[in-house]
Amino acid sequence: MSSSSELRPLLSAAASRLQRAQSKFESLAENARRDIASRLRTEMSLRSRLATMGEYGAGGGMYHDALEKDAENALNTARLKTEKLLADDEAMDLMSILERYCDILMESRMERIDKLSGDSVEAIVGILATSSRIDSPELITLSQALALQYPNLTSDEAIKAHLATKLVKHVTPNRPSQTTVDETMVTIAKSYGVPDWEPPFLLPGDRYALLSSLI
């Protein structure tokens, strides 16, 4: 069984790793947003050229088709990068929660399970339930030590009883909806100098609903 004195350095190491990882993710996210905006700018420019050309335009159908393909590639790449950005945002949210849990446990006495505070139980269960979602050897080591110290909190019943609502989405993450991806791309475009970009091929009602959700 891990002792309280053995757990504290593991908590400190995990918290430090999570803090560094969040800083790295934030830097990568800024670069990703700029890249997405650049690709949306390219896609909008290409579709503007296609609109002025008509169905085939000067240069024939092959040139028209090539522009259409380039526009689709730019849009599809932006969508994939936006999905990755949203997944990374979720990971940063989880890392922030887990870092806070480490702080809570470092401030607690790490006593027997029947003497733990509600916050400590929530923190332990949260780490046990979600540590595998983060690429952190320190967090995995901490989770293993907590499982040895508090085996009664490792069961499905204990996790269901004590898992914080804010962590449920991190235990069973879902791919973002198309609407969420579109809303995110519109927000990025407006924030990075492409204010007129809209998802192509939207019906009028869908366009109104999308833009209204961003007001």
CA end-to-end span of the chain: 54
Its pTM stands at 0.83
The CA–CA distances, whole Å, from 167 to 61, 91, 96, 100, 171 equal 52, 11, 11, 13, 6
For the chain, the average pLDDT equals 88
Token pair of 4 as six digits: 């309280």
Position 29 pLDDT exceeds 70: yes
User: For the residues of the chain, what is the DSSP string, one character each?
Assistant: ---HHHHHHHHHHHHHHHHHHHHHHHHHHHHHHHHHHHHHHHHHHHHHHHHHH-SS-TTHHHHHHHHHHHHHHHHHHHHHHHHHHHHHHHHHHHHHHHHHHHHHHHHS----GGG--HHHHHHHHHHHHHGGGS--HHHHHHHHHHHHH-GGGSSHHHHHHH--GGGHHHHS--PPPHHHHHHHHHHHHHHTT-TT---TT--HHHHHHHHHHT-
Q: What was the pLDDT predicted at 115?
A: 84
Are residues 21 and 134 in contact, defined by beta-carbon separation less than 8 angstroms?
yes
Are residues 110 and 10 in contact, defined by beta-carbon separation less than 8 angstroms?
no
pLDDT in tens, 105-160: 999 877 777 788 999 999 999 999 999 999 999 999 999 999 999 999 999 999 99
Which of the four pLDDT bands, split at 50, 70 and 90, describes residue 179?
confident
Q: How far is 43 from 197, CA to CA, in rounded Å?
A: 9
**For 2-13, what is the mean pLDDT?**
83
